[in-house]
Structure 1
Amino acid sequence: MKSWVIVPAAGAGKRFSLEARKQYAKFLDMTVLEYTLKRLLAIDHIKIVVAVSPEDKAWRQLAIFKNTSIEVIFGGKERADSVLLALEHIKDEAKMNDWVLVHDGVRPCVKVADIINLMDQLSSHAIGGILAVPVVATIKRATSKAEIKATEDRSRLWEAQTPQMFRFSLLLEGLRQASRANWQPTDESAAIENLGHMPRIIEGSHDNIKITRREDIVIAEAIALCQQEWS
């Protein structure tokens, strides 16, 4: 059974910068996307499909894309569109029960050990699951006027991360259904949940942050350097 990794990297990253895509921001001695892909390439027996914007030419300048385990396709306007296009791209080669891992191109600090644990813990699972961490902050529910309405019980709240790992046929069905309904799930788990399934949570690490704003680069670089020291 083959494992596929889909990396949606077609976003414009408007909260990060109006001039540049965050996946190509300088990150230590490479770009964010290169660092992320380098982590993923440490996993054995996988095929990586990276979805980029049709207008994006920057990826062609990166040496990592010469790796034969990486294939590039054109993605869509939204994350779910890009993942669905990648699934449609591999459908003639992928088997129904193949595992598909979807990982944000801007999560460069994901630990290889956490990915391997996710794959091991879910190896015999019928559906799949996600990396996530317990919510540690106090969460407030607010009104439209930014007035606090309630304090949430965080004991059962988890912050979803990636990779998210599901059976190929289920993920394809979930995202096709979302597309037909003109609904944009914010992650793959939501599409699976919408089919009536209950994915598993595998606890990850709080340092698996997603780069959203420019200041996140500095935080992620510090995490990556600490991870190098601890390894």
Structure 2
Amino acid sequence: MRYEVVLPAAGSGKRMGAGQNKLFLNLADKPILVHTLLVFEQDENCTGIWIAVKDEERPFIRSLIEKYNIVKVKGMPTGGEERQHSVHSCIKEMNAVDVVLVHDAARPFITIPKINELAEVAYEKGAAIAGVRAKDTMKVVHNGLIKATVDRESLWMVQTPQAFRYEILAEAEDLAEKAGFLGTDEAMLVERLGHDIHIVECSYENVKMTTQEDLVFGEAILKQRK
């Protein structure tokens, strides 16, 4: 299934504490952003990459794209203060496609087979997101006190990519903007329109590079894969 992908890359990455966009930090021999871009560059079913960026970072990102010979980038619109705004800025510039994926630019370990599984499910059923089952015991806590223990069998930790038929995500983004509604992810915007979201079990390796500790995990994953 052919698709295009949106990568929000305009965040500050404060939790990384790097003093710069965390996507520019090296993981092994390449910036995190480049590792992510190369996955989609190498997938024959990906027909376009859209990157939401900060205006001042656009020249540097363009230099990375040229250095690593990434040819599928179709546009780099200006991102917003929130992830949702960044995604919407890309959706507005895209031509209609069958399936659009939204992926965290800081998740460089997603695999092509899993990407294609998500795209297929989204095309057939409308919406699909990657996730993994919760491994730890989950508690409900208020004011530092445990109020309940939640059955983890029904709990999933959501990842990306999140995949949608284009018209569904475009409508969800447009209506959220008009209503001033801010969701935590794209699936939440689609949920509020009454669409079913299908979960596709992914891998615990599909970790997001958020803190310094994640970089250590990332190096270990790369070493293992090599």
Residue of structure 1 equivalent to 2:177: 179
Q: Is the 8 A contact 1:103 1:163 kept in 2?
A: yes
**Distance between the aligned counterparts of 1:64 and 1:141, measured in 2?**
48
Report the CA distance shift for 1:65/1:87 in structure 2 as closer, same or farther (over 3 A).
Answer: farther
Counterpart of 2:141 in structure 1 is: 142
**2:99–2:122 contact (8 Å) kept in structure 1:** no
The percentage of aligned residue pairs carrying the same residue is: 35
Give the whole-Å Cα distance in 2 for the aligned partners of 1:2 and 1:112: 12
Deviations 1:145-200 (A, max 9, x none): 22211111111111111111001111011112222222221111111101111111
User: Structure 1 residue 223: deviation in Å?
Assistant: 1.1
> What aligned pairs does 1:1-231 form with structure 2 within 5 A after superposition?
2-17=2-17, 19-45=19-45, 46-56=47-57, 57-62=59-64, 63=66, 67-70=70-73, 71-90=75-94, 93-95=95-97, 98-125=98-125, 127-143=126-142, 145-228=143-226
Q: Residue type matched to 2:53 in 1?
A: V
SS in 1 for 2:16: coil
Task: Give the direction of change, closer, same or farther, for the CA distance of 1:105–1:64 in structure 2 (3 Å limit).
Answer: farther
- CA RMSD across the alignment: 1.7
2:107 & 2:78 partners in 1: Cα distance? 20
Q: String of CA shifts for 1:93-142, please: whole Å, max 9, x gaps.
A: 214xx1000110000111222112222344422x1211111111111111
The farther-off stretch of 112-121 and 157-166 is 112-121
TM-score norm. by structure 1 comes to 0.90
TM-score by length of 2: 0.92
Deviates more, 1:2-11 or 1:110-119: 110-119
* Alpha carbons of structure 1 residues 64 and 36: separation in structure 2 relative to 1, 3 Å: farther
- Structure with greater proportional helix content: 2
Aligned residues: 222
Give the deviation of 1:209 after TM superposition. Answer: 0.4
In the alignment, the residues of structure 2 paired with residue 15 and residue 50 of structure 1 have an alpha-carbon distance, to the nearest angstrom, of 21
Cα distance in structure 2, aligned partners of 1:8 and 1:138 = 31
Equivalent pair of 1:34/1:64 in contact (CA under 8 Å): no
Shifted more, 15-24 versus 5-14: the winner is 15-24
Q: Which runs of 5+ in 2 are unaligned?
A: none
Say whether the 8 Å CA contact 1:59–1:65 is kept in structure 2.
Answer: no
Runs of 4 or more above 4 Å deviation? none
Change (3 A) 1:122 1:174: closer
